Chains A and B, each alone.
Chain A
Amino acid sequence: MTETNTNSRIGEELLSVNNIDLSFGGVKALTDISFNINKGEIRSIIGPNGAGKSSMLNVINGFYQPQVGHVRFKGKDYTPMRPALAAKSGIARTFQNIALFKGMSTLDNIMTGRYLKMHSSFIEQALYIGRAKREELEHREKVEEIIDFLEIEAIRKTPVGRLPYGLQKRVELARALAMEPELLLLDEPMAGMNLEEKEDMSRYIIDVNEQFGTTIALIEHDMGVVMDLSDRVVVLDYGRKLADGSPDEVSSNQDVIDAYLGVSH
């Protein structure tokens, strides 16, 4: 539909997962999954509960190590990917269950996202001298840009634990953005939100993608949101890939419809 429009934004392959098998003991979480994510696109992973979506994200950023298969990111093979490596090479993520420092302010939480970019030593930071001071200012500026971008000025100094759920989700997105990632993994960014919060979040995701050119991989249950946002969608069911393609293709695929609505056997 908007082929010409999207083509200019989307570049070549950024990441691919190839023939991933993941099992926990006797439970097979993922079976022979392969797909890729192109630069600049919004890629959704959908599927019923327990389909292996979160496992898939965890494989991508190295939380889980698959028994078979490998992750290829920016032309380099990782077998296996490790979380620290993923973060260093430009993959950031948010979690399905918010993982923030509840006692710290919004600002400090986002600042932690800049940790990898800081080079000053522990002593310098403790005494706030030398590089530490300059770095702090530099990073604060970047963080303020993100605060402005996500419109969370009013809660800059509020401890995160006191914020409502929807805002906490936004802070988590802010922290991930603070890493200036090339690939952003969002695990159900809209779970538990009301309609207005969902619409806001959708807008932020589109804006992040457009303004920073960040590639986004997204797990989401709300089909309306998925179909609106995504360039391509991959569908998982019982750890297997069911379909892969544009939102239109996927939503008219009989297997997908069956998996979501159920069929009489």
Chain B
Amino acid sequence: MTETNKLDTFPKLLRHNAEMRAKRPAIREKDHGIWQSWTWAEVYEEVKAYAAGLDKLGLKAGDHIGIVGSNRPRLYWTMAAAQFLGAIPVPVYADGVAEELQYILDNAEVTFVVTEDQEQTDKILSVQENVPTLKQIIFDDPRGLRDYDEDNLHDYVNVVDAGKQVVKKDLAWADRMIDATKAEKASIMLYTSGTTGKPKGVVLSHNNILITARNAVDLEGLNETDEVLAYLPMAWVGDHIFSYAQSLVAGFCVSCPESTDTVLNDLWELGPTYYFAPPRIFESTLTTVMIRMEDASKIKRKMFHYFMDHARKTGVDILDGKSVGLLDRIKYAIGNTLVYAPLKNALGLSRIRLGYTAGEAIGPEIFEFYRSLGINLKQLYGMTEASVFVAIQPNGEIKADTVGVPAPDVEVKVEDNGEIMYRGPGTFMEYYKNPESTAETKQADGWVHTGDAGFFDEDGHIKIIDRAKDVGKLNDGTMMAPKYIENKLKFFPNIKEAVAFGHDRDYCAAFINFDLEAVGNWAERNNIAYASYQELAAHPEVYKIMKEHVEAVNRSLATEERVAGSQIKRFLVLHKALDADDGELTRTSKVRRKFVAERYEPLIDALYSDKTSCHIETEVTYEDGRKGSISADVQIMDADTFPFNATAMAAAAE
């Protein structure tokens, strides 16, 4: 055990893997249609030379180095090489527009930036004069960058080549650098997505990340034979843990997809054993499956539904190792051959040993769909400030509406106001240059505010209902947890996004965004012609469907005493899809409630009046940053509400 205790920083782990797992693959990338792989020994040599190259260019311990791009081996190596030198990598969401990048790069005072390609390089060059600390820019893919003559722009290959000369001459250089790294020093800085105001830089130490990552590896029994596809943004703490830290700790191979458009195909080719996806990905996959089944032949459709019904009854119990009758088991085995296994294969989930979902509540039906196929999908609860893991669902005790029990070494408690607090080894060091926020969030005794409201259920599982500050009260004092209502709405495949209002108002009301894929498909099948989201949004038939969904939610709310009063009285279907480019969603696709409320104030006012329609003009931003505007007359509709009735439970479950 003393051996592993010494492996307390990333560079030390990398050196260890290069010795112990020299020939095993460390990272893979699909390039030119073929999976190319690098072994741990190769990665170590490359990172060593890269670090020396960066050192030569002037990267110092304590410096910040920005990383802008999608999941590429060279960008992961940038993290490793920076950590060699004691510098701190700052991965940034690559799909952000230049101004968003500028804020983060400036706030982090980066001295270096490493970019994936011309697109990202152009963004950096366009903001570089507003980031006074920025000295050097390094790019991975040279395409289109040949004629750029900026002096501070370097090709990755040249940096590594320069570094190779250094390492060749001074053989002990790497070991000196590695031995100098300290576990309690910052290893990475990750920016929170900014659901609440400007993004904040969360500083995490080697200890934070590595202890947490190792705990989870031990808990779930991950090892060097596992396979992971790195496809979620590098700037997100989940990717940092799953695709970077745990790969180093457990020694498994991480694969980078060919491009963002090929992820599904790459997933299918690779068949990962360990997989993470936010609920919306599971949701959209399920929607696609269901739509494609609708188009399948009658026999196939019948077979699918017959066996899926059976899986729904018995699949989860079989997965959890509960007792299931022999006949049911045989039927499940037949279903497995005919439906479940082919379906899992088509989704690229054949070999999954462990799947996680987190970030948002997942619809119970979606969650159970995957579990009934025999996929060990679990929910976890975590945040950047905790190096992800706060709570994990234990194997065999999975409930769709909880996030499980506290992770190893983590303590969790619920404050009097309902807020969840935690304390553990992953607790972040500080918010960068923001002692005020740090003090607000992190108490002197180590307890950290999560900002989420929730409670422990009878089995000691944690149940999250909403952001603590979002839980409001109607004028008559009824509790109103907007997210709780929105999630119920969003569990309908037809509804993509919902925003509920009601704090300090007489009743609850909601905005709805439908799912264009699902509703569009329905429209095609019903011969409803449409040209755009906006046109479909105003269609009376669409309103009729949405009204049914809203009333179903109301019926289900009516069965729960605490929220029965917060049923949706009036709703509208928004004339445009909420979009991160317009600032309505965060880059991780969470609704920015306050922003939306301000932007669509006239619509909210109309919801709380007797108007049946409201005219609104909205500015929209296109992907390239240009602006335009759309105007629409949005219709407002009343929905039926129901009296509190606990016995209606059975009916509501339908």
Contact = CB atoms under 8 A, between A and B. Distances in A.
A is bound by B? yes
Interface of A: 5, 140-141, 144-145, 147-149, 151, 153-154, 156, 196, 199, 203, 206-207, 210-211
Interface in B19-36: 30-34
A206 B32 contact: no
A17 to B, nearest CB: 29
Interface in B340-368: none
B143 A153 contact: no
A148 B31 contact: yes
23 contacts: A5-B147, A141-B32, A144-B34, A145-B32, A147-B32, A147-B33, A148-B32, A149-B143, A151-B259, A153-B30, A153-B258, A153-B261, A153-B262, A154-B258, A154-B261, A156-B33, A199-B624, A206-B144, A207-B144, A210-B144, A210-B146, A210-B147, A211-B146
Given A148-B31, A148-B32, A156-B33, A211 B144 contact: yes
B434 interface: no
Nearest to B262: A154
Contacts of B144: 203, 206-207, 210-211
Contacts of A5: 147
Contacts of A153: 30, 33, 258-259, 261-262
B624 A211 contact: no
Nearest to A149: B143
A144 B32 contact: yes
A249 to B, nearest CB: 23
B265 interface: yes
Nearest to A141: B32
B603 to A, nearest CB: 29
A144 B146 CA distance: 21
Contacts of A203: 144
Contacts of B265: 154
A207 B259 CA distance: 19
A5 B147 CA distance: 9
A53 B31 CA distance: 39
Contacts of B624: 196, 199
B633 interface: no
Nearest to A144: B32
Contacts of A145: 32
Nearest to A156: B33
Contacts of B541: none
A37 to B, nearest CB: 21
Interface string B28-54: 001111100000000000000000000
Given A148-B32, A210-B147, 7 more contacts: A141-B32, A144-B34, A153-B261, A153-B262, A196-B623, A196-B624, A210-B144
B276 to A, nearest CB: 22
A145 B147 CA distance: 21
A141 B33 CA distance: 9
Nearest to B146: A210
Contacts of A141: 32
Nearest to B33: A144
Nearest to A210: B146
A203 to B, nearest CB: 7
A171 to B, nearest CB: 15
Contact of A207 (B31, B143, B258, B623): B143
Contact of B259 (A144, A154, A199, A211): A154
A140 B32 CA distance: 9
Contacts of A140: 33
A108 to B, nearest CB: 13
Contacts of A207: 143-144
Contacts of A199: 624
In order of increasing CB-CB distance, the 8 nearest A-B pairs are A154-B261, A144-B32, A154-B262, A153-B258, A144-B33, A207-B144, A153-B259, A153-B262
A22 B165 CA distance: 63
Contacts of B33: 140, 144, 147, 153, 156
Which of A140, A148, A153, A206: most chain B CB closer than 10 A?
Answer: A153
Interface string B253-289: 0000011011001000000000000000000000000
A209 to B, nearest CB: 10
A178 B321 CA distance: 56
A162 to B, nearest CB: 15
